[in-house]
Amino acid sequence: MKVTIDKWIGVSTWHWNHAQDEVCGICRVAFDGTCPTCKYPGDDCPLIIGECKHAFHMHCLLKWLTTESSKGLCPMCRRRFKTATE
């Protein structure tokens, strides 16, 4: 049998390398989903990981760090939040 392909549609899946089934502690949405202010997961709504190894949607964390009560601390462990350098 000979088959000719007229047309194909590529479909792919992706997820962040970091802990796929975990949720962002701030917005409680899965890391593979978006923060509440974004529409599309992925590069537009990246994750941020601290030296303390705690991860959040970057938008959620930035929003937290702008509040007075954050005092620049990680919401999980209350250590000064510094982005992990790989």
Partner 1 sequence: MESQNAHPAAGYSSLKMQDAPASAVDGHSVTKRLQSELMQLMMSNVPGISAFPVSDSNLCQWTGTIAGPEGTPYEGLTYKISMTFPANYPYRAPVIRFVSPMWHPNVDMSGNICLDILKEKWSAIYNVQTILLSLQSLLGEPNNASPLNAQAADQWDNNKAEYKKSLMAHYKDIEELADE
**Footprint on this chain of partner 1 (rule: CB under 8 A):** 12-17, 25-29, 35-37, 39-44, 46, 58-60, 62-64, 66-67, 69-70, 75-76, 78
Contact between 41 and 32 (Cβ < 8 Å): yes
Among partner 1, Zn ion, none, the one that 13 touches (CB under a kind-dependent 5 to 8 A) is partner 1
Among partner 1, Zn ion, none, the one that 43 touches (CB under a kind-dependent 5 to 8 A) is partner 1
Which is nearest to 50 in space by CA: 76, 11, 68, 14? 76
Structure tokens given for 70: 């954050």
Kindly state whether residue 59 participates in binding Zn ion, applying the rule CB under 5 A: yes
Identity of the residue, 5 or 56, whose beta carbon is nearer to Zn ion in the bound complex: 56
Going by the DSSP 8-state scheme, the letter that residue 56 receives in this structure is E
Contact between 19 and 55 (Cβ < 8 Å): yes
Q: Phi and psi at residue 46, in whole multiples of 5°?
A: -75, 170
Chain contacts with Zn ion (rule: CB under 5 A): 24, 26-27, 35, 38, 45, 52, 54, 57, 59-60, 74, 76-77
